[in-house]
Structure formats: structure tokens, C-alpha cells
């Protein structure tokens, strides 16, 4: 009886750990997408500023 309860508890614990890993992966993926988007927007802004500076020099 005790071994059955222990097995069930271990299975629940394993399921919770798997859920945590999935959640963490989703969070990391979202953070990576946000970071990539920020980098893209920064590159666009810098390119625009450079273009404006070259126009103003002429």
C-alpha cells in the first residue's frame, strides 16, 4: 500500500517537473522573441538616424 502511494506521489512530482520545464521553455522562447524584436527595432532606428545625418550633411 505504501509503495503504491509513493509511486503515485513520484508520478505526480514528475508530471509537475515536466510542466515546469515546458513553462520555462515557453518563457525563454518569449523572452528570446522579445529580445530579437528589440534588436531589430534598434537596428532600424540606427539606420534611420544614420540616413538622416547623411542627408543633413549634404
Looking at residue 25, its pLDDT comes to: 87
Q: How confident is the model at residue 57 (pLDDT cuts 50, 70, 90)?
A: confident
CA-CA distance, 56 to 2, in Å (whole number)?
80
Task: Give the distance from CA 57 to its chain's centroid.
Answer: 41
Mean pLDDT of 43-48: 94
Query: pLDDT digit string (tens) for 1-38?
Result: 678 888 888 999 899 888 888 888 888 889 999 999 99
More confident residue, 39 or 26: 39
Overall pTM surpassing 0.85 (yes/no): no
The set of cell numbers assigned to 34 is 522579445
The set of cell numbers assigned to 40 is 531589430
Amino acid at each position: 500500500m505504501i509503495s503504491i502511494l509513493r509511486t503515485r506521489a513520484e508520478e505526480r512530482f514528475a508530471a509537475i517537473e515536466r510542466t515546469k520545464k515546458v513553462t520555462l521553455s515557453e518563457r525563454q522562447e518569449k523572452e528570446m522573441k522579445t529580445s530579437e524584436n528589440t534588436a531589430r527595432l534598434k537596428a532600424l532606428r540606427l539606420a534611420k538616424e544614420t540616413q538622416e545625418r547623411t542627408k543633413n550633411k549634404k
